Amino acid sequence: MYPPKGNRDLIKEINRSLVLNLIKSQGPISRKDLASLSNLSPATISGITADFIASDLVHEMGEGESTGGRRPILLRLNHQAGFVVGVKLMERTIISALTDLDAQVLYHRVTELPVAQLLSDGPVKPEVVLPVLIQAIEQTIVESAVVRNRVLGIGIGLAGLIDNQRKTCLYSPFFGWRNIEVAEPLSTHFNLPVYLENDVNTLTIAEKWFGYGHDIDHFLVITVGRGIGVGIVVNGQFYRGAIGGAGEFGHITLASDGPLCACGKRGCLEAMASDPAVVRQAKAAIALGERTTLAKMDPLTIESIVAAAEKGDKLARKLLADSGHWLGIGVATLINILNPQLVIVGGEGVLAGAWRFDPMRQAIKAHTFNGLADDLDIIIEPSGDEAWARGAACVVLGELFKSPVDKREEIRLRAVRI
């Protein structure tokens, strides 16, 4: 049955998006295979791919395996047809990266925020941060030397409570911001779409589109470092919660009389197992006179604690193991609630390696409900600052490759013959 005429343009867009996604995920691919995978007619495929080639989005290449007769020409996505900028806005620095359509980082830079102005009393003024952010993005584009009109969008990752639809920061613990429009001034300056997303969510979106979460319907991305968070994908959909606050995993209570957390409550997972928590525990043990090589280290950091653990320091090993244990208890709870197929662990805290994550794995095994951890994959992913910026870039790429239907969040992508 023909759809109403008003839907024709949308259907065309859906089919174009479907074909583009097939070329991206299955390419190099022949037109014949595109037709059979998409259920579209050869004439429709021919028209759509001709448009893509004319706009340099798709390249023809070599010849594929012949199944008898002439060998087919293969099509592949031109990864350099467009570029996006991803930014991680942090407490003191801005990490920005430029990627191609395949999420490969081609250039990245670190820009310092004006610390003197940040340290003044009260919330940090957006008027201080936003011009530096704009300048950092400008320099990223200029220094990467890509053709400017091929930059298709900008993604910003920021810790805190983010309303990604209104592109507003509802609450930033770093800057003390409440209800600050971050994307709008950037969008006006660059005349490009700008997306704002919680930083943990950016890593999760990156895993879903370009990483281990591709084709996985139920997975979690746990981030460990200065804070602890989780990004949640259930039924193939990214889960945000009612006001975008899902994933404040670091603030589940493990001991109601435990140490004070930055959020003002006691005994949060973050207050017991984050990198700053481990450093704090080390300082407390040193103050109590415990024998450890950490006593001589100044400044005492998570890096120095990991180095001491490598060299056999008992306290360093115990503190990292405790942190992994509490983390594992928390992750086991998430597994019991959500039953994921895959857990990916990222964030700067992964540098603690097996000292932290072997105990985490043991605690997960010990505390998950019967059978839920049996077929579960746990991947510890090395992650630097650049990975966060790449994550923010993937938010833009995800939007570019999303079907128009998914953008409307109505029904799942399905090809319709026209």
Residues in contact with Zn ion by CB under 5 A are 251, 261, 263, 265, 268
Report, in Å, the least distance between residue 393 CB and Zn ion: 30
Show contacts of 242-249: CB within 8 Å, 24+ apart: 243/161, 243/163, 243/170, 244/161, 244/162, 244/163, 244/164, 244/170, 244/198, 245/161, 247/198, 247/200, 247/201, 249/222, 249/330, 249/334
Task: For the CB of residue 349, give the shortest distance to Zn ion in the complex, in Å.
Answer: 16
411, 22 in Cβ contact below 8 A?
no
Q: How far is the CB of 270 from Zn ion (least distance, A)?
A: 5
By beta-carbon proximity to Zn ion, the closer residue of 261 and 306 is: 261
Four-residue CA torsion sign, 231, 233, 238, 242: negative
Closer Cβ to Zn ion, 262 or 416, answer by number: 262
Which residue, 265 or 280, has its beta carbon nearer to Zn ion?
Answer: 265
HSE-CB of 344 using CA atoms within 13 angstroms? 25
CA–CA distance, 269 with 401 (Å, rounded to integer): 36
Q: Could you give phi then psi for residue 384, rounded to 5 degrees? A: -105, -175
Residue with Cβ nearer Zn ion (233 or 261): 261
Q: How far is the CB of 288 from Zn ion (least distance, A)?
A: 25
Shortest Cβ 334–Zn ion spacing (Å): 16
Greatest C-alpha distance within the chain: 81
Instruction: Respond yes or no on whether the N-terminal peptide bond of residue 28 is cis (omega within 30° of 0).
Output: yes
If the CB atoms of residues 47 and 245 are measured against Zn ion, the closer one turns out to be 245
Distance from CA of residue 290 to its chain's centroid?
39
Q: Tokens standing for 229?
A: 């968070």
Residue 326, phi then psi, degrees to nearest 5: -65, -40
Nearer to Zn ion (CB atom), residue 269 or residue 389: 269
Q: What's the angle, vertex CA 412, arms to CA 229 and CA 192, rounded to 5?
A: 65
- The smaller minimum CB distance to Zn ion, of residues 234 and 263, is found at 263
**Shortest Cβ distance from residue 264 to Zn ion (Å)?**
7
Task: Name the phi and psi angles at 374, rounded to 5.
Answer: -60, -50
Min dist CB 258 to Zn ion, Å, is: 10
How far apart are CB 268 and Zn ion at their closest, in Å? 3
Give the residue with the Cβ less far from Zn ion, 205 or 228: 228
